Structure 1
């Protein structure tokens, strides 16, 4: 197998934002603030963009109705300061990646996956079943580059769905959901392989995704197909 790539934190976060973008992002001193329009923490959290002072952090806090910060591996000082201000760690996240060339060595089974855009109603229904509603689907529509929904099928029925988008040579998979009735039947594996095949067709060389550390079944799946941990982050919330 090809050695798994290790995107830098800056590259990884840039791809995350390009493929899962907020409704609005604006600078406030050395912080970037985001309006996710209901699309979840990743598109709503503030992040540091450079060296900051206590007054800068005060201003960022005051600008948010519900202060929330994304903390990457380079943000140790911010993490400590937010802890001192009684912010709680929520949703530690791991980033996984693998070379597309490795993932496409085993193709999805025939007629089990269907890349398409815009997402069909059945894809939206599967996302809604997993708690991914219209506000998060709107995030997908905001992505500017190549993108697709991948519908997975099992036992002649729609079984799962994922969203994939490219930022240059890095493709990111988001919102992978498999209906509970079809889990442990290979649908997620097929969707992952189809995502890699689609990414290869777009010229991407790496497929990446992020998952909470608490999601042990998903982490086991990603490890089983040869993906490796390449980064991490968490949130701090009042």
Structure 2
């Protein structure tokens, strides 16, 4: 085992800190998050203690008062109680969504090669063209505001192919671990190796800030992301998914 490798609680803390909710409160056995349109990751409730059925109902009420549909993140590798919660929510009509893998590597695995000239850059504040690329990947204003909220060292990632703007991403650090989010390559520039160079750019920047590990999250069905992170010698260190309750009035 590599010394001081982040365990799952540290990795999920990094996920929370580098892609933060607009507001977060611990109440009863739950941590509740207010996402303000920033997506599931910043809107999902998580368990932090033993719960009862009445506690689930109370969490549902609280989330609806936030203007959010009831949504829970299930972390079966970290919390045995989440397996029971998963079964209970399934029986109450909650749909399973977005099975996700957490990828992790020592940062020096991605800092061993020099970046090709004008291929990838660490830039903060994001350029207008980076915001356009995120929009192309359906990473809109609400998700971009999540990046603005991140409090630790952070940077945008800007990738180019043949002198053309081609990719954008975001990286932030919590403790000794960097996490990459919102990595999007425009469709016409995929398959050209840019994703790997942007990940290496993130690692080089994070190492300069003292990070020792680099991580990211990607849905299990994203074969291209899995192939990229495997090629970079990153390992799956954990997993999670969501349970979401859609009401009859929901549009989705």
Q: Which moved more, 1:22-31 or 1:134-143?
A: 22-31
Which of 171, 175, 179 in structure 2 is aligned with 1:164? 171
Residue 74 of structure 2 corresponds to which residue in structure 1?
71
Residue 18 of structure 1 corresponds to which residue in structure 2?
17
Residue 38 of structure 1 corresponds to which residue in structure 2?
37
Kept in 1: contact 2:101–2:240 (CA 8 A)? yes
Residue 240 of structure 2 corresponds to residue 237 of structure 1: no
Paired with 2:128 and 2:3, the residues of 1 have a C-alpha distance of: 35
Provide the secondary structure at the position in 2 that maps to 1:210.
strand
Which stretches of structure 1, 4 residues or longer, exceed 4 Å deviation after superposition? 2-6
Paired with 1:19 and 1:199, the residues of 2 have a C-alpha distance of: 13
Paired with 1:114 and 1:31, the residues of 2 have a C-alpha distance of: 39
Paired with 1:131 and 1:76, the residues of 2 have a C-alpha distance of: 31
Kept in 1: contact 2:107–2:207 (CA 8 A)? yes
Which of 94, 105, 113 in structure 2 is aligned with 1:98? 105
Residue 186 of structure 2 corresponds to which residue in structure 1?
179
Residue 203 of structure 2 corresponds to which residue in structure 1?
196
Kept in 2: contact 1:19–1:165 (CA 8 A)? yes
What aligned pairs does 1:74-223 form with structure 2 within 5 A after superposition?
Answer: 74=79, 75-223=82-230
Q: Which moved more, 1:16-25 or 1:105-114?
A: 105-114
Q: TM-score, normalised by structure 1?
A: 0.96
Provide the secondary structure at the position in 2 that maps to 1:42.
helix
TM-align CA RMSD: 1.4
Paired with 1:119 and 1:97, the residues of 2 have a C-alpha distance of: 25
Q: Which moved more, 1:76-85 or 1:158-167?
A: 76-85
Uncovered stretches (5+) of structure 1, i.e. residues with no partner: none
CA distances 1:89-133 after superposition (whole Å, capped 9, x unpaired) = 100000001111111112321221111111010100000000001
